[in-house]
Structure formats: structure tokens, C-alpha cells
A = this chain, B = another copy of it.
């Protein structure tokens, strides 16, 4: 537990908006907490890492079945995808092939074991999403994705630097 936040006894000058109330800072904290939660769940349920799960989920759901598409749809670096995919291949959860119509791309498919892990893990991850959304009020649930849309867009800008 942090010490009492309401008593500010600092003698130093303090920023207009407290640093700990910066939006960016809150995103870092939330990201950190969600990462830890995700790692715990995946470790308990499937024995895979976060990166591994992201690839498994993308392929298992059909959202993206090539490295290229995973990189596009997520923010995972191609280098990480490459290494993770080959790790999953060695672990026997995934197979790869080069399609005849474009042999640059790496086409992926889950193996039986991969599909088993996907099927077993997905419900837990969805339960988690529901638990997270369930912590919000109806009004908040309605607004949250729009908020993310606008913040992400604003994060692309550098205009505020005059």
C-alpha cells in the first residue's frame, strides 16, 4: 500500500498535474498489471508465454495465419513473431508452410496439440476479458473502446511540439 496520497508535504515545486496522474503513467501501470495477470493465467492454464499465446490465438481464431498478417493486426515486432513461431514449431504446437502462390509468406496452422491448447485456454481468456469489462459501469463499457480509439490516434501526433 502506498502512503497517504492526500497529504502533499513536498517542499519542492510540483507539476500542475501530479505526475502519478499523467495519463501515460496510468497506461504504463495498467499495461504492467495486465501483463502480469495474463502471464499468470497462461502459465496456470496452458504453460505458454504471452508471445506464444498471441500467435496461437491469432492462428487458432483465423484472425491472422501468416507472420505478415500477425504483424499487421497486432503490434508485435516481426522479429519476435519469427522467433516465437519457430519456438512453437519446435514445441509441436504449430506447423508452417510456404504457399505456392507466394513463397515469401509463412503460412501457419495449429497442430492437434496447438488446437487443444487454444480450445482449452480461450475460455479462460474470455472470462478474463469479461471480468475486466465487468469491473466497469455500463456507461464506462460503452465509452471505453472509443476512448482507446481517440487516444491511439492522438498518440500518433507530434504536433504539440509547436
Contacts and interface: CB of A to CB of B under 8 A. Distances in A.
A102 interface: no
Interface string A1-38: 01100000011111111111111111111111110111
B136 A150 contact: yes
Interface string A144-159: 1111101111111111
A147 B136 CA distance: 7
Contact of A145 (B13, B21, B74, B156): B21
Contact of A62 (B12, B27, B130): B12
Oligomer: number of copies: 2
A134 B157 CA distance: 12
Interface in A42-86: 44-45, 57-58, 60-63, 65, 72-75
Contacts of A146: 140
Contact of A27 (B3, B34, B139): B34
Interface of A: 2-3, 10-34, 36-38, 40-41, 44-45, 57-58, 60-63, 65, 72-75, 122, 124-136, 139-140, 143-148, 150-161
Nearest to A157: B131
A29 B75 contact: yes
A65 B19 CA distance: 13
Given A124-B161, A140-B146, 6 more contacts: A11-B62, A12-B62, A20-B73, A136-B147, A140-B147, A140-B150
